[in-house]
Amino acid sequence: MSVFVLRRLLTLLATLIGASLIIFLVLDALPGNAAQMLMGADASPDAVRALTVKLGLDQPLTIRYLQWIKGLLSGDLGNSYVYGTPVAGLIAERLVLTIPLAIMSMLITVVLALSAGIYTAANHNKLGDVGVMSLTQVGLALPNFWFAILLILLFSVRLQWLSAGGFAGWDDGIWPGIKSLLLPAISLAVVQAAILARVTRSAVLEVLREDFVRTARAKGLGKREVLWSHVLRNAMIPVMTVMGLQFANLLAGTIVIENVFYLPGLGRLIFQSIANRDLIVVRNCVMLLAAMVVIVNFVVDVLYAFIDPRIKVHDL
């Protein structure tokens, strides 16, 4: 493993620890008493005290933090205050929906954005470029949950092709599941794709101005070949950076979109747990989302090193 990857790995660890500290401090240290919140204002002090002891909330903060981290590392996240079942199980149940949803919408984002971005850059200042760019400008302005509602209006209310919400699960094969995630994935993807398409376009245009593009043309390569074999790889660096950051938005977006479509995913679990004051579930879900964001960005950083030969040397 190169020094570069090792250094990034250390940063990753530091970021994860930092994020876990923030989450713990905000959710566990700041609010008076979780047990009190759980039982409501008019619960008897004795009952609250009993619950506090039962949940281990009478321990000092450091101990509780360390216990949580220990649990995270061993996969034992404790039991939900409300359901009494293991948090890890609750989360795993929901991830079966959220992860495919995130992957589907990321795929749609990338396909839409790269084709639109490359198309517009290759047809710079022509009619197609101006048209697609105006469309992306509109796409940037759409709130994704509103776009989702519009999709429901069109495909569920008017055309009645797809259901307005709910999740079919994976038991009857892949297709029903994918079908019920299609509208949510599209509504998440379109706004992100608008951003990514604009980034792709300007990255490709910037690389097209480079001298080595002229060199490649002077070797006898056609415009299209230069675009595919010389330009895209160079343009991918900024595009990938934004893709990594977008993954964070996308995960956050699932919280909203799962609520629009009544999908029993991680986002909805967090949401319900807030309503139920089930702080232990909130804490672990937020940590999971934050960790996914950080890890995806770490992977992007490491991928740079594979794409760009210059990075390894600079960082050694």
Partner 1 sequence: MSDPASAPLIAVDNLGVRLNTSRGPAQAVRGVSFALKRGETMGLVGESGCGKSVTALSLMGLLPDSAVVSGSIRLEGRELVGLSDAGYCKLRGNRISMIFQEPMTALNPMHAIGPQVAEPLRRHKNYSAAQARKEAIALLDRVGLPDAARRVDAYPHQFSGGQRQRITIAMALACEPDLLIADEPTTALDVTIQGQILDLIADLVEERGMSMILISHDLGVIAENVQRMMVMYGGTVVESGPTNEVFRRMGHPYTQGLFRARPRLGAREGTRLRTISGTVPELADLPAGCTFSDRCPLVEDRCRAALPPMVEVGPGHNVRCLRTDVSMADHVGALSA
Partner 2 sequence: MSAPLTSLLDAPVAARPLPARTFWRRALRHRSFVVGGVLTLLVLASALLSLVWTPWSPYEIDIAAKLKPPSAAHWLGTDSFGRDIVSLLLAGARSTILVGIIAVSIGLTFGVCLGLIAAARRGWTEEIIMRFSDFTFAFPAVLSAIMLAAVVGPGMVTSIVAIGIFQVPTLTRLTRGSANAIWAREFVLAARAAGKGAFRITIEHVLPNILSILIVQATIQFALAILAEAALSYLGLGTQPPQPSWGRMLNDAQTLLFQSPMLAVYPGAAIAIAVLGLNLLGDGLRDLLDPRLARER
Query: What residues make contact with partner 2 under the rule CB under 8 A?
Result: 11, 14-15, 18-19, 22-23, 26-27, 30-31, 137-138, 140-147, 149-150, 152-153, 157, 164, 245, 248-249, 251-253, 255-256, 259-260, 270-271, 273-274, 277, 279, 282, 286, 289-291, 293-294, 297
The partner in contact with residue 150, picked from partner 1, partner 2, none with C-beta cut-offs of 5 to 8 angstroms by kind, is partner 2
Residue with tokens 């080595």: 212
Q: How far is the CB of 243 from partner 1 (least distance, A)?
A: 18
* Residue 10 identity (one-letter amino acid): L
Distances (CA, A) of 13 to 9, 160, 201, 203: 6, 48, 34, 31
Q: Using alpha carbons, select from 80, 16, 44 the residue that is nearest to residue 279.
A: 80
**What span, in angstroms and rounded, lies between the C-alpha atoms of 80 and 87?**
5
* Nearer to partner 2 (CB atom), residue 145 or residue 170: 145
Q: Does 216 bind partner 1 (CB under 8 A)?
A: yes
Q: How far is the CB of 181 from partner 1 (least distance, A)?
A: 36
Q: Using alpha carbons, select from 185, 193, 183 the residue that is nearest to residue 140.
A: 193
* Nearer to partner 1 (CB atom), residue 76 or residue 210: 210
* Nearer to partner 1 (CB atom), residue 201 or residue 230: 230
Q: How far is the CB of 231 from partner 1 (least distance, A)?
A: 9
Using CB under 8 A, which of the segments 72-80, 152-160, 284-292, 302-310 binds partner 1?
302-310
- Three-state DSSP class for 58? coil
For residue 79, the cross-strand partners are: 86
- Binder among 53, 222, 228, 274 for partner 1 (CB under 8 A): 222
Q: Does 127 bind partner 1 (CB under 8 A)?
A: no
* Nearer to partner 2 (CB atom), residue 107 or residue 150: 150
Residues within window 153-212 making contact with partner 1, judged by CB under 8 A? 210-212
Q: Does 316 bind partner 1 (CB under 8 A)?
A: no
Task: Copy the structure tokens of residue 294.
Answer: 């950080």
Q: Contact 305/1 with Cβ under 8 angstroms?
A: no
Neighbours of 73 (CB within 10 A): 8
Residue partners of 179: CB distance under 8 A and separation at least 6: 162, 168
Residues within window 233-292 making contact with partner 1, judged by CB under 8 A? 233-234
* Nearer to partner 2 (CB atom), residue 74 or residue 125: 125
**What span, in angstroms and rounded, lies between the C-alpha atoms of 128 and 134?**
10
Residue 229: burial class (beta carbons within 10 Å; 0-12, 13-18, 19+) = exposed
* Nearer to partner 2 (CB atom), residue 177 or residue 283: 283
- Three-state DSSP class for 86? strand
**What span, in angstroms and rounded, lies between the C-alpha atoms of 290 and 248?**
8
Q: How far is the CB of 119 from partner 1 (least distance, A)?
A: 17
Q: How far is the CB of 136 from partner 1 (least distance, A)?
A: 24
* Nearer to partner 1 (CB atom), residue 28 or residue 308: 308
